[in-house]
Amino acid sequence: MSNTAPAILLTGATGYIGGSILTHLLDSQHLALKNVVITCLVRGEDRVAKLNAKYGSRVKPVLHKDLDDTDRAIEVASQHDIVINTTIGYHPASAAALVQGLAKRKQQTGRDVWMIHTSGTSNLADRPISKGYVEDDPERVFDDSKDDIYAYEKMRNDKELYPQRTSELGVIDEGVKLGVKTLVIMSPTIYGVGTGEFNVSSIQVPAYVNACIAKGYAMVAGDGKGVWDNVHVGDLAELYALCLVNIVEKGGADLPTGKQGTIFSENGRHTWMDIAQGVADAAYEAGRIKSRDVRSVSLQEAADAITGGDPHIVELAMSSNSRTKGTVAREKLGWKPTRGPDDFKRGFTEEVKAAIQKEAK
C-alpha cells in the first residue's frame, strides 16, 4: 500500500464474526493497526448510535438499506482501499457489488485494492446421509497450500448450486475480471463468546443448544460421525488482523489472491456427536434436560428442530465431513491460535448459559 493510511471498510459489524473482528482490530497491539479508523456499513440509526457511543472516532458508521441495496454498497466500497466482508455469505449480489466498488477505487487512485471475504467450510462438505455427494476418500483433508480449492468449488457448484459457495466464487471471478485482489478466509465451526456490541453467539453450537432446550433432549442427525474443524472466534479475529497487517505493511506480499486466494482457519477437530454430547452434558448439568443421552434422528427431524426445516443445510453444515489444514495462515502469516480443546468444551456450558439467560428475558 502507499504511505497514506488505507481506508478500511468492514461489513457485518453488528454480527458475531464482524463485531468480534472490529473489537479485535481496534484493540490490536500491531503497530500497523494503531489508531486505525474503520468504516462500518450498517442498517439502522440505532446501530449507528451504539457504534458511535462505544468506539467514538475509531469507527465511521455509514448507513445502507439492506443487502439488496447494491448501489449503495458499490458507492461506499469505492471510497475504500480494503473491504473486510463478514455479512451473511448467502448473498452473491452484495458481495460482488463490494468488489465492483473497489474496482472504481482502483481506477481513481491507481493503487491496489483488497477484498477479504468471509466464507465457510460447508462449501467443501460432503452429503454422507443422503449420499447426495460422497468423496472417493471420506477422510480427505483440504490443504490451502497444496489443493486447488477454487477448481474444487467450481466442480461442486456445477453439480449443485450452494449460495455460500456461489458468493465466494463470484467474489473471486469478479476480482479477477476487475483487477481487485481477493482473499477468502474459509472458516469451520466457530465457537466462543463474541466481543462485539451486538450478536455475540455463533450459529452451529447455539442451534444445537436451542433445539436441545426446546425438545428436552439432545439430538444428532444420523450417527453423528461426520468430522469438522473448529476455531475460536478470538483466534479467527487475529487471523483477519494478520492479513490486514500484511496488506498495510507489505502490500499483501505473503497473501495468496484470486483463484489461489482461499485460506483456512482451523485449529481443532470434532465430530457432530462430540457437539451433541457436549450440549447434552451442559444442558443436563444446568437442569434443563433429564438425560445426557443423545438421540439419533433423521435429517428431516434434525432440520425441523435445528434449521427451520431445510434438510440440505443441516446435512451440509451440521452433519457432514469437512476437514481442512490452514498451512498458509501458520507458515506465511505466523498465525498462532491460542485456544484449544478445553476452550471448545467450555463453549458448550457458555452457550447453554447464554440460551437460558436469553430465554429469561
CATH of the domain at 195: 3.40.50.720
Domain-located, residue 70: yes
In angstroms, how far apart are the furthest CA atoms of the chain?
Answer: 64
State the pTM of this model: 0.97
In a domain, 27, yes or no: yes
How many C-alpha atoms does 344 have within 13 Å on its Cβ side? 23
- Per DSSP, the three-state class of 133 is strand
Residue range 99-135, pLDDT digits in tens: 999 999 999 999 999 999 999 999 999 999 999 999 9
**Number of structural domains in the chain:** 1
The answer to the question of residue 139 being in a domain is yes
- Whether 354 is covered by a domain: the verdict is no
Question: What is the model's pLDDT at position 358?
Answer: 85
Q: How far apart are CA 230 and CA 272, in angstroms?
A: 11
β pairing state of 269-271 and 227-232: antiparallel
Determine contact, residues 162/348, Cβ cutoff 8 Å: no
Residue 168 within a domain: yes
Residue whose entry in the numeric block shows the C-alpha cell 440440505: 312
pLDDT in tens, 135-162: 999 899 999 999 999 999 999 999 999 9
C-alpha dihedral (146, 150, 151, 154), degrees to nearest 10: 150
Asked if the structure places residue 52 within a domain, the reply is yes
Structural domain includes residue 361: no
**Average pLDDT value for the chain:** 96
Q: How far is CA 316 from the centre of its chain?
A: 15
Given pLDDT bands bounded at 50, 70 and 90, which one contains residue 3?
low
* Nine cell digits for residue 268: 481443532
96 in a domain, yes or no?
yes
pLDDT of residue 1: 57
Q: What is the pLDDT of residues 227-266, one digit of tens each?
A: 999 999 999 999 999 999 999 999 999 999 999 999 999 9
- Boundaries of domain holding 135: 8-203+230-267+323-339
Convert the pLDDT of each residue in 290-321 to its tens digit: 999 999 999 999 999 998 899 999 999 999 99
pLDDT in tens, 261-283: 999 999 999 999 999 999 999 99
